[in-house]
Structure 1
Amino acid sequence: MDTRSSSMRAHARGAIRPTLLAVIAIFVLLAAASWFLILQPHQELVMQDAGGHPSTPVSTSKIAVAPPANVEAMDLTQLLAEARKAMNDHRVLAPAGNNAFEFYLKALEKQPGNTVATDALRETFPFAASGAEQAINARDFSEAQREIDLLAKADPANYTLTILRSKLDAQRKLLDKEQQLALEQQRQQQLAAEKAAADKAAAEKLAAAQKTQQANQEPPAQVAATDTPASTEPAKPVVRQVVSTDPVMTKYVQPRFPTKARRTRTQGWVVVGYTVDVEGNVTGAQVVDAQPRHVFDREAIDAVERWKYKPATRNGRAVEANLQKKIEFRL
């Protein structure tokens, strides 16, 4: 009895499997038939009314087509016809006043909720958005802003608008930064050119001054007489006269009398040796001799280092001069 029941159950399971496969096959065939017979024709009909197909590339080029006259006076049928014509010409968002989006929006003003216009705007929105993005990438910012505003009228809540606006803002900031960088580079180049011109002028001026100074220092040329017979005596060397002047003090600073020496009523003197340079400044001051030692040295050096001179000259040129000065410290 048990053997027969088990055999019947196994037979029933074997019969169910082909039936299940047949049902699944029927559903697949029905789905395919629905696509080819219902959904696809409906989509093609909508896109035919819209004047294109989603796979049709969108061009943002401003085709030179004259806009129809008196668009405001057109009825719904005329607006939809103009919209289909614009879609066929790939005038989705541009040019302004003569594009499919504007005609469809006008149609919705005439008849809010019009299915053809609504479906066409929804179907073509992603491809129109790519056209606005092309305008952004081309840095045609005014045109890109117009197209984004037009897209916002069709679908103000679409998140794509947020992305487009962010890209437009980023490109504007990038362009501003590039322009500022270019202006800064231009300014730096101008400053460098001005500096180079100033350096060149200074170098030319210095060269001219040195040339003039050398010319003033050269002795006059000696012209030998040719009318007299040559002398058998050896020529005497020409002796150039050297004109020199000593340094002349222009500023004298009185040495300070040390407080300790004043209290002890100590007196003395210091001999200071120093150099007067070509600018008339005192350099290298040092004590040569002193009496008493190390009592008045510091005050003497401090005073001498602040003295000023008109520098010594030799043949009209300033030269250094070494001097010694005995400074008395008396009460």
Structure 2
Amino acid sequence: MTALALSRAEVIREHFPNTTITFIPNPPAPAPETPAAKPEQKQQPSVIKQVAPIVQTKSEPVVTTRPLDEIVLADPGPIAAEPKPVNDPPLPPVAEPVRTTARIDPRSTLQPAYPPSEQRAGNEGSVTVRLLVGADGRVKKVTRVSAASDAFYRATERQALTYWRFKPATLDGRPVESQTVMTVHFRLDA
């Protein structure tokens, strides 16, 4: 007995190619019988057959497999649908920054002194300049765009850098540097 218990038993499986599994419903249960109509049956004692174990001498087990071509499984139920995307409310439009331009301070003395050489010669003219106005409202740089003479330009440049004051340009309420163009006219009868 001990030798049989310690020996290795090998499991042999049969090979069934191209197997299809289909579930067949169980037949309906028979109607219950009434006790009066049922004759007593004698029960036969069950016979137990004794089978000799299979002994194999190889050390590696033999495993056979069978392909699974079709397997029918129970219905898993409804599949959850993908969640619908949530529509976020539309974003408000991005506001453009509020810009204002530099404006001359009315208290500033704009008109430069008439150059004496041009006045003696009886010349009139205009000067157009591009100004860089700082965030503090002062003129930082004067660039010549056009001028009737160098004397008119130099007089305008001196006046702009010394006396002209502006209300600075703003960006969303903050003062910023900006550029502006101005024209000064020199007239003898003024």
With normalisation by structure 2, the TM-score equals 0.48
Which structure exhibits the higher relative contact order, with contacts defined as CA atoms closer than 8 Å and separated by 6 or more residues?
2
Larger helix proportion, structure 1 or 2?
1
With normalisation by structure 1, the TM-score equals 0.28
